[in-house]
Structure 1
Amino acid sequence: MHYGGLAAGLGWGMASEALRRSTSAGDSTEPRPGLLLSEANVERLVNKLSKMRGAALKLGQFLSIQDTKLLPPQLEAVLHQVQNNANYMPEWQTERVLAQDLGVDWRQHFASFDMRPFAAASIGQVHSAVLSPTSPLASAYPASLHVAVKVQFPGVRQSISSDLANLKWLLLATSVLPRGLYLDNTLRVLERELDDECDYVREAEFGERMRTLIGRSRLAKDFAVPRVVKELSGPMVLTTEMMYGKPLKDALELDQSSRDWIGTRILDLCLHELFEFHLMQTDPNWSNFLYNEQRQKIELIDFGASRPYNEHFIATYGRLLSCAIAEDRDGSIRYSQELGYLTGEEDEV
């Protein structure tokens, strides 16, 4: 019903916009956006995608970080709003998920727990809490540790495939996306990533693994990874040490030297993840990278999209980079095809 209602609303918006334009002055030479992306329809898309959660919101977030040249400016503006918008669960539903994963006595472990989330994303919301000094877990963690508790929306994982199929129908029916975005491949990748991100046990394991790898490397002086509170985590709840930095999406406010420092470190991290760790956090959402100016560190959160890579991939990707650096076009094409980035059927550019 969500998708049918949205499609009907978009159709009504297109008809209304067509009528409005037909009655307005027709001698203007200023280009006008397509009927589908009228101001009213843009608002409809934001409101619906934000409420649908799961696949719909994830697709909106994914598209919002693509090359802006591919997207109409109206759609780009919508998707940037979607990236920062998400509805919260009602309190009773949050408590039910917490009790299901942590036990009915879950509150005994917290000195305080803010039931109003401070963040929400495609599959869950995040709460601020403080561990109780009288909890049975107190001896295992610093006194009154401030933590972030991520709680998954019920039913999100079970609806991934059907939601993506409905979204594909909606996007094709409305032609809202430009050509060249490889929709089928994009949706396949999103389905795999969403399923991984819904597995909080997997995310906890990769978070701890990345924390260990970075802690043992020279990156430790510039990066921090939050500790996982395993005893207060499960399939739908993930509790980690709180990080206090500002998202890198706000880094444009910083001075040039700070931005240069951040950019250099992020590139260093990327190369380490690929060629040293063979493990990469593949979600390019800048909200997962926090700059803590006081600590002079970049804090890394959210490892649900982490992916290990085998030796063959790493070696081939290294050859591709070497060819690109040497401006070896034939070599770049050959290794891109071997990795599946190109098919060999692309137009000559």
Structure 2
Amino acid sequence: MVLISREVLFEIITVARSATRVATGSASLLQEQTCDFYKTSGLTKPLRVHDEMYDELHQKAAEIRDAEIHANVATSTSSTSSSASPTVTSTSGKRPTITPSTPPQPTSKREYSTDTKRKSAIPIDSKNEESRYSEMPTSKLQRLFHYGHLATSIGVNTASDSLRAVATGQRPSFRNAALSQKNISILGDKLRKMRGAALKVGQMMSIQDESFLPRELSDILKSVQNQGYFMPPRQLHRIMRDNIGSDWRDKFEAFEDVPIASASISQVHRAITKDGKPVAVKVQYPGVKDSIDSDMDSLLMIMTASRLLPKGMFAESSIGNARTELKWECDFLREAESIKKFGELLKDDPVFEVPKVYDELTTENIITMDWLDGTDIVRGEWDQETRNWLATNVMRLCLQEIAQFKFMQTDPNWANFLYNQETKKIQLLDFGASREYGDEFIHNYVTCLRAGVANDTATVAEYSKRLGYLTGLESQEMVDAHVESITTLGEPFAANGGKPYDFSKQDVTTRVKAKMGLMLRERLTPPPEETYSLHRKFSGVFLLCTRLQAEVPCEELLEKYFHD
């Protein structure tokens, strides 16, 4: 006879109760909202009151829909015989449109693609492309239903696997049950379809060091960045109409309906303005902005109840920070102002290029900016001299953002840096996560980092307390691990006789990883909120230099921008 310990029994009962509460609450809310909708909506009036006018309108709508279907079929048939390269076509009385017969496959890693030759050369399976279309759940009710289904599915699967282990005489592992292949698959598919807060949190967490997250969870979070769904044309057109006007197509010389990229909160389309300028049009998914709080609450409940995150990550603080950043990113007018601010800050910089914003084609949910023709900085086949130059300037900008501008574009995605070989410019993308930092924080942060570079452990510990990394109540082992991690991270900037630091030989990340387990166990307080985004960016730049196998004069850069 197999005996179940109190701990195991408690876990099974807790998961079962959580799943039941989520399912019951979702069903109750769904029933209530459905009843209200039925009683008040004009769409359901024909079901409540017989009206000949509604019958007539219904018949006309059906006729129009059938006509559109036949027209779409005819268009699709004719397009399959056209050439593979994208062209701008025009017929008498109709606006020119960009009509590639093999539209590019969107990728969520890039805000938008810039390699037009590559785009037209990649054949896309129309069936596969069609399968990538997914109507975005827009209302809080729809999204709550999806999260409720996700929580219930994970809870039921976890409880079932635990009971199955008990029945076969094994000691059940809650962690293994929660991270089963079935649960991970369900989580990944739901993140891709929900987008918005769900996908954003997945992307933010996926760039964390692998020692922070279980490997299974890290893998699925990385995969959702490449496999996001995108809106079908009817939903896209509705957003364009609501934001720019019913005549929105007349405001472009050409507009490509198939997006060339899909991200967590938006998808990007290629277009041409009336005066012939190529632009990128970023369109926000509907409902994302209004559902941030409810989405984050649902994710926090799921992550906490399922124990998918280690204790030391302080899930509530991490999700709270993601909540704030996502609200910033959903404000496209704020992003437009950030682009303009960076344009002003870098107007005299000989290296960096910032796109121009088209105010007349920009709203809270749509932002239109210059199309940039560079190549992803990590995808080009650069010689060593070019790699060194690219990495040095990206590192320079990062230090300038911290110490001089006190204003940083904090998204660590490497695809936000493009290199245009013709103009010899590094082009910058995606300013939604831009933020300011206060003078006191910058002073304390720079002082702490310089102390780490100088291996001044006492000053590192003191300023870590001022910043909020330490409370003063930690064990000496925890304090030592934290201080050592900072001094280790400062090594690339340490005195090196004026020689550049060779990132191809660095082992800093490996040595810092060795301390992460202890710090996650012993940490008493979450990091200061400013450092969530700053460290993601710093880490992204550090890893970019490593990826480019570059030699960077870090000592010289630190002295120039982090001087006393």
Specify if TM > 0.5: yes
User: Over residues 286-325 of structure 1, what are the superposed CA-to-partner deviations in whole Å (9 max), with x where a residue is unaligned?
Assistant: 2322334454432211111111223322222221222111
Match of 1:204 among 328, 336, 339: 336
* Bigger shift: residues 83-92 or 66-75: 83-92
Secondary structure of 1:111's aligned partner: strand
Larger radius of gyration: 2
Residue in 1 that maps onto 2:408: 280
Structure 1 pair 342–119 and aligned structure 2 pair: CA distance change class (3 A): farther
Match of 1:337 among 441, 454, 465: 465
Q: Please give the residue correspondences for 1:313-324 in structure 2 after superposition, counting only pairs within 5 Å.
A: 313-324=441-452
Does structure 1 residue 122 correspond to structure 2 residue 264? Answer: yes
Residue in 1 that maps onto 2:245: 103
| Distance in 1 between residues matched to 2:434 and 2:463, nearest whole Å | 23
Amino acid at match of 2:221: L
Residue in 2 that maps onto 1:7: 151
| Distance in 2 between residues matched to 1:100 and 1:120, nearest whole Å | 20
Q: Please report how far the alpha carbon of residue 232 of structure 1 lies from its aligned counterpart in structure 2 after TM superposition.
A: 0.6
| Distance in 1 between residues matched to 2:158 and 2:421, nearest whole Å | 47
Q: Please report how far the alpha carbon of residue 64 of structure 1 lies from its aligned counterpart in structure 2 after TM superposition.
A: 0.5
Q: Please give the residue correspondences for 1:163-242 in structure 2 after superposition, counting only pairs within 5 Å.
A: 163-216=295-348, 220-242=349-371
Contact 2:351 2:425 in 1 (8 A): yes
Structure 1 pair 253–6 and aligned structure 2 pair: CA distance change class (3 A): farther
| Distance in 1 between residues matched to 2:320 and 2:473, nearest whole Å | 20
Does structure 1 residue 59 correspond to structure 2 residue 201? Answer: yes
Contact 1:251 1:259 in 2 (8 A): no
Secondary structure of 1:157's aligned partner: coil
User: Over residues 247-267 of structure 1, what are the superposed CA-to-partner deviations in whole Å (9 max), with x where a residue is unaligned?
Assistant: 45x459756554433322221
Structure 1 pair 254–14 and aligned structure 2 pair: CA distance change class (3 A): farther
Contact 2:233 2:257 in 1 (8 A): yes
User: Over residues 157-186 of structure 1, what are the superposed CA-to-partner deviations in whole Å (9 max), with x where a residue is unaligned?
Assistant: 111111111111101111112232121211
Residue in 2 that maps onto 1:269: 397
Q: Please report how far the alpha carbon of residue 15 of structure 1 lies from its aligned counterpart in structure 2 after TM superposition.
A: 5.9
Relative to the length of structure 2, the TM-score reads 0.55
Contact 2:304 2:315 in 1 (8 A): no
Amino acid at match of 2:296: L
| Distance in 2 between residues matched to 1:72 and 1:129, nearest whole Å | 41
Q: Please report how far the alpha carbon of residue 20 of structure 1 lies from its aligned counterpart in structure 2 after TM superposition.
A: 8.5
Amino acid at match of 1:128: R
| Distance in 2 between residues matched to 1:16 and 1:253, nearest whole Å | 50
| Distance in 2 between residues matched to 1:232 and 1:160, nearest whole Å | 25
Secondary structure of 1:89's aligned partner: coil
| Distance in 1 between residues matched to 2:255 and 2:386, nearest whole Å | 34
Does structure 1 residue 38 correspond to structure 2 residue 143? Answer: no
What is the number of residues matched between the two proteins? 331
Structure 1 pair 228–265 and aligned structure 2 pair: CA distance change class (3 A): same
Structure 1 pair 59–311 and aligned structure 2 pair: CA distance change class (3 A): same
Amino acid at match of 1:35: A
Amino acid at match of 1:119: A
Q: Please give the residue correspondences for 1:116-155 in structure 2 after superposition, counting only pairs within 5 Å.
A: 116-133=258-275, 144-155=276-287
Residue in 1 that maps onto 2:474: 346
Structure 1 residue runs of 5 or longer lacking an equivalent are: 27-32, 134-143
Amino acid at match of 1:162: S
Structure 2 residue runs of 5 or longer lacking an equivalent are: 1-144, 482-564
Structure 1 pair 73–255 and aligned structure 2 pair: CA distance change class (3 A): farther
Secondary structure of 2:313's aligned partner: coil
Residue in 1 that maps onto 2:374: 245
Q: Please report how far the alpha carbon of residue 12 of structure 1 lies from its aligned counterpart in structure 2 after TM superposition.
A: 4.6
Aligned-residue CA RMSD (Å): 2.7
Does structure 1 residue 76 correspond to structure 2 residue 218? Answer: yes
* Bigger shift: residues 65-74 or 310-319: 310-319
Residue in 1 that maps onto 2:229: 87
Does structure 1 residue 290 correspond to structure 2 residue 422? Answer: no
Q: Please give the residue correspondences for 1:23-34 in structure 2 after superposition, counting only pairs within 5 Å.
A: 34=176
Q: Please report how far the alpha carbon of residue 115 of structure 1 lies from its aligned counterpart in structure 2 after TM superposition.
A: 1.0
Contact 1:150 1:237 in 2 (8 A): yes
Q: Please report how far the alpha carbon of residue 50 of structure 1 lies from its aligned counterpart in structure 2 after TM superposition.
A: 1.0
Contact 1:196 1:202 in 2 (8 A): yes
| Distance in 1 between residues matched to 2:185 and 2:375, nearest whole Å | 28
| Distance in 1 between residues matched to 2:387 and 2:162, nearest whole Å | 45
Structure 1 pair 342–259 and aligned structure 2 pair: CA distance change class (3 A): farther
Does structure 1 residue 260 correspond to structure 2 residue 388? Answer: yes
Identity, % of aligned pairs?
43
| Distance in 1 between residues matched to 2:451 and 2:380, nearest whole Å | 32
| Distance in 1 between residues matched to 2:215 and 2:421, nearest whole Å | 33
